[in-house]
């Protein structure tokens, strides 16, 4: 207990004392949330398309509950409502993959599929991959796989490691749109390296699915069209590529997928424990995914355009203030590092007092020189909410709390 409490001391102090940590949300009204007496504009949810509040999607749910009850409660191997077949067919068509399999969460997929694909071979792991990918690799390691890390955003380093590797079974694991930087990897370069070395590229695009998609001449914004994820965004094929994603962010539902060839899907149906043993997603989640597909087809590109315009307003403010953000893409995840990591609690209070709810990224969630806060914009945010955020950012910049573009990124505060 003492060892872990000491390791997580900064975070546990924040959790105990800060209104933006472990908060109880009493009420929502659009993208405004109420915590006790305080109404705040929410920039911490991942409901990028605003489907959680979409009347058409909400109204679609009761008919599914009438037909199926609240929960199937069979493991998928025992039996799956036909809704699963419909979801997998529509998803496969949207992504343009050979096939797909859905399971409740991405975490379930990483923990079960990475060990299967890696077997006793070698995993090449992106040094900044999401924690759940790391955990999947740990399980694989415990079953005999080796794990080697390559530098973040560095396909050249990956190429070097693969060139030096003798093991014929090679799996590369990495994020699509990164949950901290908001940037997408150069999928073309990584896919080319994977193919050249006979490796399988496994990409988790939790934050890109629904937000970015294929590029078209008439696309409404630089996010592309249809929200069909990072592989299509880079006009890449699925040759040597497996794509994982989820509906729990842009689609506001509890379901996740792996897009893969049919023979891999067939293997997972007998070898991936969550398919055999885990409970399924609730019927309301299956319903909101299906209704979400309809809305995505008809209004998704308009919502993505709105999302890019709102995000653009925040990015313009950050640029005008000379404040640093790792976001180079204009996608709706904007991390703002602090000058001094020890100020995270005070900075959080300033945001709270300005009516802004953001994700606090405290140590040890992130390294000390990356401590800051993350803003996630959704299509359901209003211009007035963005105005409030801009005022808060201006105030924090004027107080010298935010790292500037010209600051030394290794500096984290005087005593650090
Ligand atoms: C990149 C990434 N992968 C996986 C997950 C976990 O997804 P799930 O809740 O479906 O397990 C998250 C959640 O934040 C994420 O950001």
At residue 14, the pLDDT reads 77
For ligand 1, mutation pick of 106, 184, 207, 208 (most atoms within 8 Å of CB): 106
Examine the pLDDT at 411 and tell me if it is beyond 80.
no
Calculate mean pLDDT across residues 44-65. Answer: 98
Examine the pLDDT at 134 and tell me if it is beyond 90.
yes
By alpha-carbon position, which residue is closest to atom 15 of ligand 1? Answer: 206
Nearest to 174 by CA among 192, 200, 195, 145: 200
The percentage of residues in the chain with a pLDDT greater than 70, rounded to a whole number, is 99
Examine the pLDDT at 414 and tell me if it is beyond 60.
no
The model's pLDDT over 140-157, given as tens digits with 9 standing for 90+, comes to 999 999 999 999 999 999
The model's pLDDT over 317-367, given as tens digits with 9 standing for 90+, comes to 999 999 999 999 999 999 999 999 999 999 999 999 999 999 999 998 899
Dihedral, CA of residue 138, residue 143, residue 148 and residue 149, to nearest 10 = -20
Return the structure tokens found at 63: 């008919």
Contact 403/386 with Cβ under 8 angstroms?
no
Cα–Cα distances (Å) from 168 to 118, 120, 121, 164, 199, in that order, read 11, 10, 7, 11, 8
How would residue 416 be classed by pLDDT, with cut points 50, 70 and 90? very low
Examine the pLDDT at 25 and tell me if it is beyond 60.
yes
**If you measure from the C-alpha of residue 203 to the centroid of ligand 1, how many angstroms do you get, rounded to a whole number?**
12
By alpha-carbon position, which residue is closest to atom 5 of ligand 1? Answer: 106
At residue 415, the pLDDT reads 41
**If you measure from the C-alpha of residue 368 to the centroid of ligand 1, how many angstroms do you get, rounded to a whole number?**
22
Element counts in the chain: helices (H) and strands (E): 14, 14
At residue 13, the pLDDT reads 79
**Mean pLDDT rounded to a whole number for the chain:** 96
By alpha-carbon position, which residue is closest to atom 12 of ligand 1? Answer: 206
pTM listed for this prediction: 0.95
Q: Find the residues whose C-beta lies inside 6 A of ligand 1.
A: 105-107, 130, 132, 175, 179, 204, 206-207, 246, 248, 256
For ligand 1, mutation pick of 45, 48, 104, 107 (most atoms within 8 Å of CB): 107
The model's pLDDT over 159-217, given as tens digits with 9 standing for 90+, comes to 999 999 999 999 999 999 999 999 999 999 999 999 999 999 999 999 999 999 999 99
Q: Is 24 helix (H, G, I), strand (E, B) or coil?
A: coil
The percentage of residues in the chain with a pLDDT greater than 90, rounded to a whole number, is 91
Give one DSSP letter per residue of 1-18, joined into a string: -HHHHHHTHHHHHHHHH-
At residue 412, the pLDDT reads 59
């Amino acid at each position: 207990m003492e060892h872990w409490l000491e390791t997580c001391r900064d975070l546990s102090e924040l959790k105990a004392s800060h209104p933006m940590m472990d908060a109880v949300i009493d009420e929502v009204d659009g993208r405004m949330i109420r915590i006790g007496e305080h109404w705040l504009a929410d920039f911490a949810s991942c409901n990028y398309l605003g489907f959680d509040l979409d009347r058409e999607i909400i109204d679609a749910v009761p008919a599914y509950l009438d037909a199926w009850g609240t929960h199937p409660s069979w493991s998928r191997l025992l039996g799956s409502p036909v809704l699963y077949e419909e979801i997998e067919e529509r998803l496969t068509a949207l992504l343009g993959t050979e096939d797909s399999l859905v399971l409740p969460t991405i975490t379930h997929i990483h923990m079960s599929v990475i060990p299967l694909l890696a077997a006793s071979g070698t995993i090449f792991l992106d040094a900044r991959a999401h924690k759940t990918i790391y955990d999947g690799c740990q399980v694989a390691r415990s079953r005999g796989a080796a794990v080697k890390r390559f530098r973040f955003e560095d396909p050249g380093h990956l190429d070097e490691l693969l060139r030096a590797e003798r093991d014929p079974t090679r799996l590369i694991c990495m994020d699509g749109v990164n949950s901290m930087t908001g940037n997408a990897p150069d999928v073309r370069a990584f896919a080319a390296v994977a193919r050249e070395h006979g490796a399988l590229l496994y990409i988790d695009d939790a934050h890109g699915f629904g937000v970015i998609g294929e590029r078209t001449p008439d696309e409404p914004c630089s996010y592309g069209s249809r929200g069909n994820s990072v592989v299509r965004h880079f006009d890449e094929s699925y040759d040597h590529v497996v794509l994982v994603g989820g509906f729990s962010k842009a689609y506001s539902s509890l379901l996740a997928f792996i897009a893969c060839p049919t023979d891999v899907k067939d293997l997972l149906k007998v070898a991936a424990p969550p398919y055999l043993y885990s409970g399924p997603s609730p019927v309301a989640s299956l319903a909101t995914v299906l209704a979400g597909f309809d809305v995505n087809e008809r209004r998704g590109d308009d919502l993505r355009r709105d999302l890019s315009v709102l995000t653009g307003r925040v990015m313009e403010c950050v640029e005008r203030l000379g404040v640093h953000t790792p976001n180079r893409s204009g996608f709706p995840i904007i991390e703002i590092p602090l000058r001094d990591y020890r100020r995270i609690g005070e900075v959080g209070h300033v945001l709270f007092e300005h009516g802004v709810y953001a994700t606090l990224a405290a140590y040890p969630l992130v390294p000390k020189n990356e401590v800051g806060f993350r803003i996630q914009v959704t299509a359901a945010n209003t211009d007035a909410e963005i105005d409030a955020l801009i005022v808060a950012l201006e105030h924090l910049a004027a107080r010298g709390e935010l790292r500037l573009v010209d600051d030394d990124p290794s500096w984290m505060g005087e005593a650090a």
